[in-house]
């Protein structure tokens, strides 16, 4: 059984009228929990696991999993440490940004944020919690701080003996009557009775001068009254004031590096990339899945449990016999959401960037599925970094080096067909023709798919057309466009293909003038900072809106082209305009919603512009919403439901909007029924046609309130034109399209309390 914790949030951004409102509600966060940072076990035997995408609790008894993210739970999803306090039964969670979240036995959350906001701390990542002497010790990249159980900070040990100020503390442990801290500068020891950890003179330093293998220490453990200290290339042991080398690895072998050490109660346990070993006893585990990232041994009722952390987003497992048994929730493969698209069935398709090979992940009916070379035999490469979906049901995946892949739904599965230099005119680099970089593809009115290829100055087609029958035709650009540096393509109403360079070559365009076999009348052109007012020679994104206007995102704001049809004519002059209302912003992506508003992704959040871009309707960021991160890389809409998705490199945010594609025929419905003005926030009006005037009238036809919307959906707050709540009674909502003159109506039952 899987349970995901989330909270419905409502944020209302209102301009001068209800018809122009931008509202987001029903927020959810999605993130990968495949990169594990720490684990602890609570008093009931549940495993609590911290990841870079949040925390999950796993019950080994029944397999129940519960996930915790930033909505209604964590301050930050990038969690770096977790620990169970047996005295309070609280779970302490630390983040890479210095946040501390505390989950209580009552299911509530407490927060400590003074490390995050401490101006004197240059590094804030939390590495460990230790509960000793009725205080909570917090170790991190800043040193360590003790807290009372009420959350009040005590002593800040920012200098440990002679170590530099704010030396990173990797680990804290208790040894006999001493407190031991492990750092990249060596080891520090002080008495547990020390009441002034912040006094550097109360600390003793153990370094190479006392016999350590080297000062670079990453972990430590205690076995039979001896302190064992882990280094990358060996283990030192310290006892009776003397340190000496206890174990060394093969100096030239990277795979023999020690990642972490701890104890199973009797032996020192060390993890390496390909093995987990007991000191002096040899190998006890080899990776069943990916390589080991580290391990952690936890004693539960004196029984050692060996947990294995895997690289490559591999999750976590527990050693069972000679293999590891994974226990991770089904989440996206990675937290990289730099490309997003929604298909015609409402499935969200997502992928990461070009370099990290995370494959493709989809969200369907609330469940994630990961498509990559390790999950499917019909996928031969993981370099997806561009996605496009179309009304014919096809999904096209552009890759960094693997060509382009067409995905079609087949019954309850998908069929993947890859196009490379072996089965199409696509060609890559001169010295590596099979390394084919493709970008965002586009479809023309004849359902032909146009694929750009990126290969700098190497020869080959700049665009390749692939039709439904699998036939293809390459188009090689003239000398005016000498380099193949274009990856994103959109097509306007005149059939002109517009493509953006990623390497300072500007904005290109091409039109074959409906004669695929006659290249003599082809139109090619290039717009750059030298011959136009385009803001940047490396446009980041392109979008054609519902009026046929081309929107161009750059590192300095937005450009628009209104007369795109001129590009289809030989010698036609194309005018590039700068959008004055939105400048000096780094634009990552542009999305057009169902009512033609423009949603602009930037490194400072999302800006929503009205239809012509003359007004900023809303600004959405982490300060006023549950958005995962302000650096938004991609936006995608589900026009049928009104869902919007915001992709970042720290996870994905999802919300509901009022921008829903209108119906051709009215089918008006309202909820909740009965409606309680002043108690219910609003009445939802659904099933509207295009460009509707919405009129609330009494049962006798008396006018109460008039609204307007271009969406299928709008809301009424229960007030009349004068701002007063209406009385108990039955009312009629009437919708009339100003475009089609079609109409529809529904009854509203209003009950004042």
Express each pLDDT in 322-333 by its tens digit: 999 999 999 999
pTM of the entire predicted model: 0.93
Q: How far apart are alpha carbons 265 and 744 in whole angstroms?
A: 74
SS3 (DSSP) at 4: strand
Residue 324 belongs to some domain of the structure: no
Write the pLDDT tens digit of every residue in 137-159: 999 999 999 999 888 888 899 89
CA nearest to 453, candidates 442, 468, 464: 464
**Where do the H-state alpha helices sit in 294-412?**
none
Write the pLDDT tens digit of every residue in 304-348: 999 999 998 999 999 999 999 999 999 999 999 999 999 999 999
| Domain closes at, from 455, 476, 497 | 476
Q: How far apart are alpha carbons 611 and 711 in whole angstroms?
A: 13
The answer to whether residues 401 and 378 touch, using CB atoms and an 8 Å cutoff, is: no
The answer to whether residues 132 and 146 touch, using CB atoms and an 8 Å cutoff, is: no
Write the pLDDT tens digit of every residue in 683-739: 999 999 999 999 999 999 999 999 999 999 999 999 999 999 999 999 999 999 999
Say whether pLDDT at 68 is over 80. yes
Q: How far apart are alpha carbons 661 and 103 in whole angstroms?
A: 41
- pLDDT exceeding 70 applies to what percent of the chain? 97
Beta strands per DSSP E along 14-78: 22-30, 36-41, 47-51, 54-58, 65-68
Say whether pLDDT at 12 is over 50. no
Sign of CA dihedral 27, 33, 37, 40: positive
What average pLDDT does range 183-188 have in this prediction? 98
Give 55-59's long-range contacts (Cβ < 8 A, gap of 24+). 55/79, 55/82, 55/93, 56/328, 56/329, 58/327
Under the banding of pLDDT at 50, 70 and 90, the label for residue 625 is very high
Residue 530 belongs to some domain of the structure: no
HEC sequence for 73-112? CCCCCCEEEEEECCCCCCEEEEECCCCEEEECCCCCEEEE
Please report the pLDDT score of residue 9 as a whole number.
Answer: 39
The answer to whether residues 37 and 81 touch, using CB atoms and an 8 Å cutoff, is: yes
Please report the pLDDT score of residue 521 as a whole number.
Answer: 92
Which DSSP helix (H) or strand (E) runs through 299? strand 292-300
622 burial via Cβ count (<10 Å: 0-12, 13-18, 19+): middle
The tokens describing 70, both together, are 């930033």
The answer to whether residues 428 and 440 touch, using CB atoms and an 8 Å cutoff, is: no
| Domain closes at, from 476, 505, 537 | 476
Residue 679 belongs to some domain of the structure: yes
Total structural domains within the chain? 2
Please report the pLDDT score of residue 353 as a whole number.
Answer: 80
Residue 113 belongs to some domain of the structure: no
CATH code at 694? 2.60.40.4070
Quote the DSSP letter at residue 572: P
Under the banding of pLDDT at 50, 70 and 90, the label for residue 681 is confident
Please report the pLDDT score of residue 377 as a whole number.
Answer: 87
Residue 704 belongs to some domain of the structure: yes
Say whether pLDDT at 5 is over 80. no
How far is the CA of 511 from the CAs of 440, 489, 506, 544, in angstroms? 18, 12, 17, 16
Q: 680 Cβ partners below 8 Å, 6+ apart?
A: 672, 718
Q: How far apart are alpha carbons 99 and 77 in whole angstroms?
A: 10
The tokens describing 641, both together, are 């439901």
Q: 559 Cβ partners below 8 Å, 6+ apart?
A: 533, 534, 535, 539, 551, 552, 576, 577, 578, 579
What average pLDDT does range 69-82 have in this prediction? 97
- Provide the mean pLDDT of the chain: 93
Residue 390 belongs to some domain of the structure: yes
Cis status, amide bond into 672, omega within 30 of 0:
yes
The answer to whether residues 596 and 608 touch, using CB atoms and an 8 Å cutoff, is: no
β-pair type (449-454, 463-466) = antiparallel
Q: Which residue has the higher pLDDT, 153 or 743?
A: 743
Q: 568 Cβ partners below 8 Å, 6+ apart?
A: 494, 495, 496, 511, 513, 523
How far is the CA of 429 from the CAs of 400, 453, 484, in angstroms? 12, 10, 10
Please report the pLDDT score of residue 439 as a whole number.
Answer: 92
| Domain closes at, from 412, 445, 476 | 476
Sign of CA dihedral 27, 103, 307, 168: positive
What average pLDDT does range 192-219 have in this prediction? 95
Which residue's entry shows tokens 């002497």? Answer: 133
Write the pLDDT tens digit of every residue in 473-484: 999 999 888 899
Q: How far apart are alpha carbons 260 and 219 in whole angstroms?
A: 6
Q: 159 Cβ partners below 8 Å, 6+ apart?
A: 143, 165, 166, 167, 198, 200
Q: The sheet that has 683-686: what strands, in order across it?
A: 669-671, 683-686, 714-716
Please report the pLDDT score of residue 206 as a whole number.
Answer: 97
CATH code at 399? 2.130.10.10
Under the banding of pLDDT at 50, 70 and 90, the label for residue 21 is low
Please report the pLDDT score of residue 297 as a whole number.
Answer: 98
Please report the pLDDT score of residue 486 as a whole number.
Answer: 94
Under the banding of pLDDT at 50, 70 and 90, the label for residue 4 is very low
Residue 437 belongs to some domain of the structure: yes
Q: How far apart are alpha carbons 730 and 212 in whole angstroms?
A: 84
The answer to whether residues 636 and 654 touch, using CB atoms and an 8 Å cutoff, is: no
Please report the pLDDT score of residue 357 as a whole number.
Answer: 83
Say whether pLDDT at 11 is over 90. no
Residue 505 belongs to some domain of the structure: no
Domain that holds residue 364: 334-476
β-sheet bridge partners, residue 67: 4, 56
Which of 20-34, 199-213, 301-315, 432-446 shows the lowest mean pLDDT across its residues? 20-34
What average pLDDT does range 199-224 have in this prediction? 96
Write the pLDDT tens digit of every residue in 586-619: 999 999 999 999 999 999 999 999 999 999 999 9
Q: How far apart are alpha carbons 164 and 149 in whole angstroms?
A: 29
Q: Rg of the Cα trace of the chain?
A: 30
What average pLDDT does range 398-409 have in this prediction? 94
The tokens describing 671, both together, are 């909820």
Q: How far apart are alpha carbons 647 and 632 in whole angstroms?
A: 6
Please report the pLDDT score of residue 7 as a whole number.
Answer: 34
Write the pLDDT tens digit of every residue in 543-577: 999 999 999 999 999 999 999 999 998 888 999 99
Q: What is the largest CA-CA distance in the chain?
A: 96
Q: How far apart are alpha carbons 94 and 82 in whole angstroms?
A: 6
Q: How far apart are alpha carbons 201 and 160 in whole angstroms?
A: 8
């Amino acid at each position: 059984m899987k349970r995901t914790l989330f909270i419905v949030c409502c944020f209302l951004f209102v301009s001068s009228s209800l018809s122009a409102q931008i509202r987001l509600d029903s927020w959810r966060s999605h993130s990968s929990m495949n990169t594990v940072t720490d684990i602890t076990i609570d008093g009931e035997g549940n495993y609590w696991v911290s990841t870079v995408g949040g925390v999950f609790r796993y019950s080994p008894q029944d397999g129940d999993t519960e996930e915790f993210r930033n909505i209604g739970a964590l301050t930050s999803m990038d969690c770096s440490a977790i620990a169970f306090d047996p005295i309070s039964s609280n779970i302490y969670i630390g983040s890479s940004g210095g946040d501390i979240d505390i989950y209580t036995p009552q299911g509530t959350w407490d927060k400590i944020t003074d490390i995050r906001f401490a101006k004197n701390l240059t590094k804030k990542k939390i590495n460990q919690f230790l509960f000793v002497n009725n205080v909570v010790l917090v170790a991190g990249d800043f040193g360590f701080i003790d807290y009372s159980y009420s959350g009040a900070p005590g002593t800040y040990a920012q200098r440990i003996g002679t170590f530099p100020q704010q030396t990173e503390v990797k680990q804290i442990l208790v040894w006999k009557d001493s407190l031991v801290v492990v750092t990249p500068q060596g080891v520090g020891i002080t008495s547990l009775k020390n009441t002034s950890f912040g006094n550097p003179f109360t600390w003793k330093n153990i370094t190479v001068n006392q016999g350590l293998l080297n000062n670079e220490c990453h972990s430590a453990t205690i076995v039979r009254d001896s302190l064992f200290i882990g280094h990358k290339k060996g283990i030192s042991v310290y006892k009776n004031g003397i340190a000496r080398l206890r174990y060394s690895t093969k100096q030239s072998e990277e795979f023999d590096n020690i990642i972490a050490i701890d104890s199973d109660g009797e032996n020192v346990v060390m993890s390496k990339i390909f093995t987990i070993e007991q000191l002096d006893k040899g190998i006890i585990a080899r990776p069943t899945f990916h390589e080991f990232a580290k391990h952690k041994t936890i004693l539960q009722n004196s029984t050692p449990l060996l947990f294995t952390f895997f690289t490559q987003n591999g999750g976590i497992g527990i050693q069972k016999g000679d293999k590891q048994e994974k226990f991770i929730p089904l989440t996206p493969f990675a937290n990289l959401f730099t490309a997003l698209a929604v298909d015609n069935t409402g499935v969200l398709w997502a992928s990461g960037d070009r370099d990290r090979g995370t494959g493709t992940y989809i969200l369907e009916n609330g469940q994630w599925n990961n498509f990559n070379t390790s999950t499917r035999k019909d996928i031969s490469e993981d370099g997806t970094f561009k996605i496009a979906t179309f009304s014919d049901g096809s999904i096209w995946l552009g890759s960094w080096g693997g060509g382009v892949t067409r995905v079609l739904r087949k019954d309850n599965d998908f069929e993947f067909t890859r196009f490379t230099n072996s089965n199409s005119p696509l060609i890559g680099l001169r010295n590596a023709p099979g390394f084919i970089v493709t970008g965002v593809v586009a479809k023309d009115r004849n359902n032909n798919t146009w694929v750009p290829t990126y290969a700098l100055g190497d020869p080959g087609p700049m665009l390749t057309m692939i039709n439904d029958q699998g036939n293809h035709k390459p188009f090689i650009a003239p000398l005016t466009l000498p380099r193949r540096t274009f990856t994103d393509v959109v097509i306007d109403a005149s059939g002109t293909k517009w493509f953006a360079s990623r390497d300072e070559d500007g904005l290109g365009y091409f039109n074959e003038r409906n004669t695929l076999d006659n290249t003599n009348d082809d139109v090619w052109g290039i717009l750059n900072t030298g011959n136009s007012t385009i803001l940047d020679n490396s446009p980041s994104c392109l979008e054609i809106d519902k009026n046929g206007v081309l929107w161009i995102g750059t590192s300095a704001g937005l450009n628009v082209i209104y007369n795109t049809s001129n590009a289809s004519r030989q010698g036609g002059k194309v005018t590039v305009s700068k959008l004055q209302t939105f400048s000096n912003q780094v634009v990552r992506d542009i999305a057009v919603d169902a009512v033609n508003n423009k949603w602009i992704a930037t490194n400072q959040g999302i800006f929503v512009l009205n239809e012509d871009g003359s007004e900023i309707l809303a600004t959405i960021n982490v300060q006023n919403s549950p958005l995962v991160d302000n650096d938004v890389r991609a936006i995608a809409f589900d026009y049928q439901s009104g869902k919007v998705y915001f992709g970042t490199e720290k996870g994905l945010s999802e919300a509901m909007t009022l921008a829903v594609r209108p119906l051709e025929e009215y089918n008006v419905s309202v909820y909740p029924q009965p409606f309680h003005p002043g108690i219910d926030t609003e009445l939802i009006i659904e099933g509207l046609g295009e460009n509707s005037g919405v009129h609330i009238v009494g049962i006798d036809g008396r006018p109460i309130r008039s609204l307007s919307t271009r969406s299928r959906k709008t809301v009424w707050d229960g007030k009349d034109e004068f701002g007063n709540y209406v009385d108990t009674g039955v009312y009629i909502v009437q919708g009339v399209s100003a475009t089609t003159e079609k109409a529809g109506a529904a009854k509203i039952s209003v009950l004042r309390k």
